[in-house]
Structure 1
Amino acid sequence: MISIIIVDDSNEKIEAILSGIPEDVREYVEIVKSKSKAQQAFSKKVYDLAFVDLAIPRHDDEDPLPNEGVNLVQEINEFDWFKAPKKILAITQHSELESQYSERLKELGVTLHFHDGTGSIADIVKYQYETIAKVNQQLDYVYDALIVVALEEEAKPIIYDQRFNWSRKDILGLEDVNIRSSFLSINGKNKKVALVILPRMGLVSSAITTSRVVNEIRPHYVLMPGICAGIEGEVNLGDIIVANPSWEWQTGKWKEDNFAIEPYQIAINQKMVTRFEQMLESSILEDLWRNTEKNRPETKPSCHFGPMVSGSSVISNSDKITELREQHRKLIGIEMEIFGVYAACTQAKVSPDFIGFKSVCDYGNEYKADNYHDYCSEICGKLCANFVEFILQADK
């Protein structure tokens, strides 16, 4: 879907702009009413289309200043910490601002339109939207969701779920990838879902395979369920951890006998957090815990959103756990693939929403055992299947 933001403090003008955008897209348009809020938005995301008023307040609940919109556009173009929109359309209802800033904005690649309420801005907005839509058409999502797992045992609960009709899929360029495809009926429509089992565990495998598959089948959502180690005292065995953020614990530099970590952290977006929380408002976790035939922990599971670090080694050492906790004081989980999946998604030709969540099967210490592997694989796989259905229903 095309991402759009409106930077304007006039409700009347906002409504005029929205009238030129298809109805089913309007609810996803982001609206901010000050320069400071716009700066926050542009620092986090690349928008396909941005509508910027020239006279906007510096902060919410302040009076508009005649050149703050121009300053905002200038900063977006000059400073690396802003993610420049693919297209910016400037709008003003003040004729003096139009004559004063038209040439300056033109030099920045921004078209300025005058709108005093007497003409129809909707036609201009519609044209800009349709132009962007045509450009993006070749990058439209083909699959609705992609599930990536590292182990066969993590895939089984999803493969055996009766809502899916999995079949082996031969996709040109992915002949060597263990990939299955299924339709999932959502609100009377067939949604396309793919499932990939990585050729081996670890970050390299997860990053390369996910990148290849995402760029080939172009999924809207990418999910990674599985099993992980938890930090004892922070989580319980059987709990679910949603990795937010994720990073690689081995990235950095050795200086004599000391290792200086240089983490590049990737977080999931708020939409995925909200959707997952909404799913958890039901009794799904307790139901999955009660209805299993596997050897399960005595306490029903909880879900935690927090830092989970990835690395290419299986850890069963208390000293190593202590060392990793120094990288993030709120660390709650350790696993081997999620950061690779997150990194692949952020650098893909499309921009899928992504999320990784795993069930705690041990604490990564010397007492590491396989007592709950089957249970954790089952509960997380079934949770993933439910989340696929939940999020596709929410999209409508």
Structure 2
Amino acid sequence: MKILIVEDDASKLRNIAAALTEIDGIGLDDIASLTDAAAAKRLLRERNVDLIVLDLHLPDRIDLPPTPTGGLDFMRSISSRPDFFVPTHVVAISGNSDALSTAAEDVGELWGVIRYDPTSTQWRDQLKSRVRYAQAAWRSMVGRPRETRPGDVAILTALNEELDAILRLPLEWSQFKPEGDGTRYHEATIETGNGPMRLVAATASRMGMAATAALASKMIDLYRPSYLVMAGVTGGVRGRVNLGDILIADPSYDWGSGKYEIVDGQQEFAPNPDQLRLDPDLRPDLVKASKDSTLLSAIRSSYPGTKPDHPLECHVEAVGSGAAVLSDAAIVEDIKSHNRKLHGVEMEIYGLMMAAEICAKPRPLAFSVKAVSDFADPTKADDVRPYALYASANFILRFVTDYLGAH
């Protein structure tokens, strides 16, 4: 993937380049840098790049001072004229208050605005998350699998222990590894009332929305499944769920998506998340299954280990995805204040839902089934984690058999 950094501050440029090279598959040879808008335009007249990391406080030429609208003016110029190669993704980054304020009013063609603060690591995490997603999209375009395999339900996880819980289901799993693909896919067939359904399960290379979107894109291309489901564990909102409860995200959103605004002279982050909803044809079955007390009781009673004292419940409610593991109750409270129906916080589901929404037709129906293993605060404990993994995996099995298999 070809990356162009347009940045006139040498120290900031070094920090951005260092952050990018921490991403697997990106080296210095993949990165070019320029210091002004005119030089970037000259390059884009001659060749294309896949991603631009753009300073908002940018000079038009090397002999001129930077302006707060320099980055936005550059984007308007290249996107409105046919003589430029327009990049697929542009991530804006700035530590200048005036530039951030201008971008808050008119983001234009930018794909996210990041506040740069050299004393914090947050900007690095946000930048790497966006770049990993762009990298996944690029790979799905240039490295599509050379074959298509039959599959009805694709199950994704972010952790090996989550995949292990799926593979412990009473099915005969076989393993498949395509040439040139580092992912191992586990395939099985399940009998339903309307005949067999083919399942495939795999785990992402790391946690996070970008890695999940990358794996989801590969599985969609390789198996063309009718359904795409995320399994595993999630943090829950204390007082709204119990430990071990199952959460089906509706809606799913990225709680870190938004813009910086100037309010009373101070920079404030204003969340503006895009919400992805369950397909209206799929949601009624999930709601019905969530209220199926016989199904939920059977899952709880069949667990062979220590289980919570309360019954197993299932909630079809809002779940926020983010680029970081949360263990601070104050942050969870802040996220909750922007969505009064928030029931869970985790790192992957939005990536899964987005991959299903933007892929080529026919698109799979995507949903998530994660069970609460903690309350995303310092009181985290792992005693309920095995039970939560079991509940997630077995709910998926029963839902496929009893509900999807009935169609």
TM range (shorter): 0.5 to 0.7
Which range is displaced more, 289-298 or 209-218? 289-298
Among residues 134, 145, 149, which one is paired with 2:157 in the alignment?
A: 149
Say whether 1:209 aligns with 2:219. no
SS of corresponding position for 2:281: helix
Match of 2:308 among 268, 280, 297: 297
1:359 aligns with 2:371: yes
Match of 1:115 in 2: none
AA in 2 matched with 1:363: F
Say which is worse superposed, 194-203 or 270-279, in terms of deviation. Answer: 270-279
Matches within 5 A, 1:65-144: 142-144=150-152
2:183 corresponding residue in structure 1 = 177
Corresponding residue of 1:276 = 286
Sequence identity percentage: 27
Partner of 1:333: 344
Cα contact 2:169–2:393 (8 A) shared by 1: no
1:314 counterpart letter in structure 2: V
Q: Distance in 2 between matches of 1:272 and 1:334?
A: 22
Count of aligned residue pairs for this structure pair: 254
**What's 1:161 paired with?**
169
Question: Which whole-Å deviations, capped at 9, do the CAs of 1:337-373 have from their partners, x for residues lacking one?
Answer: 1100000000111211111121111111121121211
Which of 386, 393, 407 in structure 2 is aligned with 1:381?
393
2-structure distance, mates of 1:295, 1:336: 27
- 1:88-145 Cα offsets, whole Å, 9 max, x none, are xxxxxxxxxxxxxxxxxxxxxxxxxxxxxxxxxxxxxxxxxxxxxxxxxxxx994211
Deviation at residue 276 of structure 1 after TM alignment: 2.1
Contact 1:266 1:339 in 2 (8 A): yes
TM-score of the two chains, using structure 2 as the length reference: 0.59
User: What residue ranges of structure 1 are gaps of 5+ in the alignment?
Assistant: 1-139
Q: 1:186 to 1:375 in 2, by over 3 A?
A: same
Q: 1:329 to 1:205 in 2, by over 3 A?
A: same
SS at match of 1:316: coil
In the alignment, is residue 198 of structure 1 matched against residue 204 of structure 2?
yes
Kept in 1, the 8 Å contact 2:252–2:277? The answer is yes
Q: Report the Cα offset of residue 177 of structure 1.
A: 1.2
Measure, in 2, the Cα distance between the counterparts of 1:188 and 1:246: 31
2:353 paired residue number: 342
The one-letter code of the counterpart of 1:353 is: L
2:392 counterpart SS class: helix
- TM-fit CA distance, 1:172: 5.0
Deviations 1:325-345 (A, max 9, x none): 122111111111110000000
What RMSD over aligned residues (CA atoms) do the two structures have, in Å? 1.9
Alignment of 1:5-16 (within 5 A): none
In terms of Rg, which structure is larger?
Answer: 1
The offset of 1:273, in angstroms, is 2.0
- Superposed displacement of residue 282, structure 1: 4.9
Task: Determine helix, strand or coil for the equivalent of 1:270.
Answer: coil
C-alpha separation between the residues in 2 aligned to 1:188 and 1:329?
40
